[in-house]
Amino acid sequence: MLLIFPPVAKPCEPPAGVALLSSALTEHGFSSSILDANIQGLLYLINSDIVPIDSWSKRALKNREQILADLKSPFLYENMDRYHQRVYDLNKLLTISVDAKRFKVTLSDYSDSKLSSVNSKDLLKSAKKYKENPFYNFFEDNLRQQILNSDSKFIGISLCYLNQALVSFALAGWIKDNFTDKKIIMGGGLISSWMSRPDFNDPFKDLIDFIIKGEGEQPLLELLGKKNVEKRHYVPDYDFVKEDLYLSPGKVLPFRSSIGCYWSKCSFCPEKAETRPYSSQRASKVLQDLKLIDQKYSPDYVHFIDNAVTPSFLKALSKYRFRFKWYGFVRFEKEFMNQKFCHDLKKSGCDMLKLGLESGDQNVLDQMNKGTDLTRVSIILKNLHHAGILTFVYLLFGTSFEDKKAAIKTLDYIKGHEDYIDYLNLAVFNLPKFSEDAASLDTREFYHGDLSLYLNFTHPLGWDRKKVKQFLDKTFKKQVCVGSGIRKNPAFFSSNHAVFFKTQGNKS
């Protein structure tokens, strides 16, 4: 089977989903190959015959090879300003490589002014008119021969992000027209979310031969005739990562130690509405799998892509010394209140932890059912800071539980802890369409399209999106981000590159 990961996603590390699928297929006796069309496609556009339109693009074009080389060098990540110059220059080349009047293509985004990613009719139009897609020449020049070389009748397309949707369907339409003997299978995170809608009625059945919800390993094996496979956890197959293509300073490999979220109680979380079942293995078994990754691929970094790494596995990690560095998402668990534990995590290779704080108001956190105590958070942030572990803290504004007074409490909390926070991610709340909260609110469409996953709503406390955005831009960012020790987020790559900017001594 040929497994394809389409554009556009951040081109800094290989995709984990297709690597896990390939591993499952191989283990059960089926051949497979992986094609990361995302990194290949983006580099195809960047290295195309670009016509500069101004002095900025002329400079970027002149330095194109050096920019790509610099993004793979650790030295670039010693200077945030120089880093941003390089990233913006590269992105400039990408944006002018396509028809900018219609398409927006960046290092982390894709949109089409004529077609919507959340409208099934538009997705089918993208499939029908695939020659209009800016990646069409890439399909012809790079993918055609790779598909011809594949002797499998199945081609899997992994659609994980909204930014991939229109390109994925253009790719499917191109395959349907040009390789009539092939059967198309489509799955991935976004497909799973669409299929979780109670009104989903597969509008793609005439284009996509098989559509898969959830983890694809078992359904794929069943499709190939291997029934009743209960195994859910596999060691990802990164044999396809042979070239130094990815835009990171070293080899970064994603790794999943669990499926779903072990907490799974937050009222605002879209995955709760999708009822994705949680699954994990014994920490000792996961650690053994991770050792295999280390021995076989010698990564420089491992990116844990769990919804949140479990405390039991963190304890196992803290007792082992890896050759690679690592980072991932965790909850504010009591284990981090132990200073020695935090220092042991640092010794094991932990360079950064991503933490979902969401709010600095305890009442809001309690109504979210977040399970987070702000007194505990204060201790944890200090412990991680003194251990030399970077903290990337996520905040969520505009939930139905928050008003301006609560948002100001969050501002005050962050100002009181800015010496212990390295990065902040500020998000405005989108209401999951089929969540429990949606039933009790006055809602309206957020995006017009039959596949939209979010709703806008009349805020019960009058704290609407416009007011939230004004607060963030005119108050929060001016008081916290400017002049504080909190760093600027890496453009386009965000937390995926934040980890490479090392700690620079205590900020306090």
pLDDT in tens, 232-247: 889 999 999 987 899 9
Q: How far is CA 207 from CA 122, 158, 314, 411, 427, in A?
A: 13, 15, 44, 49, 35
Task: Please report which confidence band the pLDDT of residue 482 belongs to, taking 50, 70 and 90 as the band edges.
Answer: low
Q: What percent of the chain has pLDDT over 90?
A: 83
Whether residue 238 is contained in a domain is answered as no
Task: Please report which confidence band the pLDDT of residue 87 belongs to, taking 50, 70 and 90 as the band edges.
Answer: very high
* pLDDT at position 262 over 80: no
Question: What's the average model confidence in pLDDT over 5-32?
Answer: 96
Whether residue 185 is contained in a domain is answered as yes
- Asked if residue 125 and residue 29 are part of one domain, the reply reads yes
- Last residue in a domain, options 204, 223, 242: 223
Comparing CA positions, the residue from 421, 430, 416, 324 lying closest to residue 380 is 421
- Last residue in a domain, options 168, 202, 223: 223
Distance CA 489, CA 506 (A): 19
* pLDDT at position 483 over 70: no
Whether residue 64 is contained in a domain is answered as no
Note whether 62 and 89 are within 8 A (CB).
Answer: no
- Asked if residue 455 and residue 327 are part of one domain, the reply reads yes
- Asked if residue 297 and residue 183 are part of one domain, the reply reads no
The 8-class DSSP code of residue 230 comes to: -
Say how many domains are in the chain.
2
What is the CA angle 278-197-106, rounded to 5? Answer: 85
Task: Please report which confidence band the pLDDT of residue 263 belongs to, taking 50, 70 and 90 as the band edges.
Answer: confident
Question: What's the average model confidence in pLDDT over 284-289?
Answer: 91
Domain that holds residue 492: 252-498
The 10s digit of each residue's pLDDT in 422-470 is: 999 999 999 998 887 888 899 988 778 999 999 999 999 999 999 999 9
Backbone angles phi, psi at 392, to 5 degrees: -115, 105
* pLDDT at position 3 over 90: yes
Task: Please report which confidence band the pLDDT of residue 360 belongs to, taking 50, 70 and 90 as the band edges.
Answer: very high
Question: What's the average model confidence in pLDDT over 462-485?
Answer: 89
Whether residue 183 is contained in a domain is answered as yes
The 8-class DSSP code of residue 486 comes to: P
What pLDDT score does 302 carry?
98
* pLDDT at position 273 over 70: no
- Asked if residue 435 and residue 362 are part of one domain, the reply reads yes
* pLDDT at position 118 over 90: yes
Question: What's the average model confidence in pLDDT over 336-348?
Answer: 97
* pLDDT at position 318 over 80: yes
* pLDDT at position 400 over 90: yes
- Last residue in a domain, options 202, 223, 244: 223
Task: Please report which confidence band the pLDDT of residue 271 belongs to, taking 50, 70 and 90 as the band edges.
Answer: low
Q: Show the tokens assigned to 96.
A: 């002018």
- Asked if residue 261 and residue 204 are part of one domain, the reply reads no
Note whether 429 and 472 are within 8 A (CB).
Answer: no
- Asked if residue 374 and residue 425 are part of one domain, the reply reads yes
What pLDDT score does 439 carry?
80
What pLDDT score does 507 carry?
41
What pLDDT score does 481 carry?
66
What pLDDT score does 278 carry?
77
* Alpha helix (H) residue ranges in 155-298: 165-178, 189-196, 217-223, 270-274, 283-297
- Asked if residue 396 and residue 327 are part of one domain, the reply reads yes
What pLDDT score does 480 carry?
87
What pLDDT score does 132 carry?
98
Q: How does the average pLDDT of the chain come out, rounded?
A: 93
What pLDDT score does 447 carry?
79
Higher pLDDT, 107 or 229: 107
Note whether 57 and 93 are within 8 A (CB).
Answer: yes
Whether residue 60 is contained in a domain is answered as no
Backbone angles phi, psi at 351, to 5 degrees: -100, -25
Question: What's the average model confidence in pLDDT over 366-392?
Answer: 96
* pLDDT at position 281 over 90: no
- Asked if residue 256 and residue 185 are part of one domain, the reply reads no
Comparing CA positions, the residue from 382, 345, 377 lying closest to residue 361 is 377
* pLDDT at position 218 over 50: yes
- Asked if residue 356 and residue 427 are part of one domain, the reply reads yes
Question: What's the average model confidence in pLDDT over 101-109?
Answer: 97
Q: Is 255 helix (H, G, I), strand (E, B) or coil?
A: strand
Query: Tell me, what CATH number does 301's domain have?
Result: 3.80.30.20
Whether residue 78 is contained in a domain is answered as no
The 10s digit of each residue's pLDDT in 43-58 is: 999 999 999 999 999 9
* pLDDT at position 419 over 70: yes
* pLDDT at position 506 over 50: no
Element housing 40 (H / E): helix 37-46
- Asked if residue 216 and residue 291 are part of one domain, the reply reads no
Whether residue 92 is contained in a domain is answered as no
- Asked if residue 280 and residue 428 are part of one domain, the reply reads yes
Quick one: how far is CA 395 from the chain centroid?
Answer: 17
Whether residue 56 is contained in a domain is answered as no
What pLDDT score does 505 carry?
39
Query: Tell me, what CATH number does 169's domain have?
Result: 3.40.50
Q: What are the residues facing 186 on neighbouring strands?
A: 157, 211
Question: What are the contacts of 496-499 at 24+ separation with CB within 8 A?
Answer: 496/10, 496/12, 496/13, 496/248, 496/252, 496/303, 497/12, 497/77, 497/83, 497/248, 498/352, 498/390, 498/392, 498/422, 498/423, 499/301, 499/325, 499/327, 499/351, 499/352, 499/390
- Asked if residue 274 and residue 167 are part of one domain, the reply reads no
What pLDDT score does 438 carry?
82
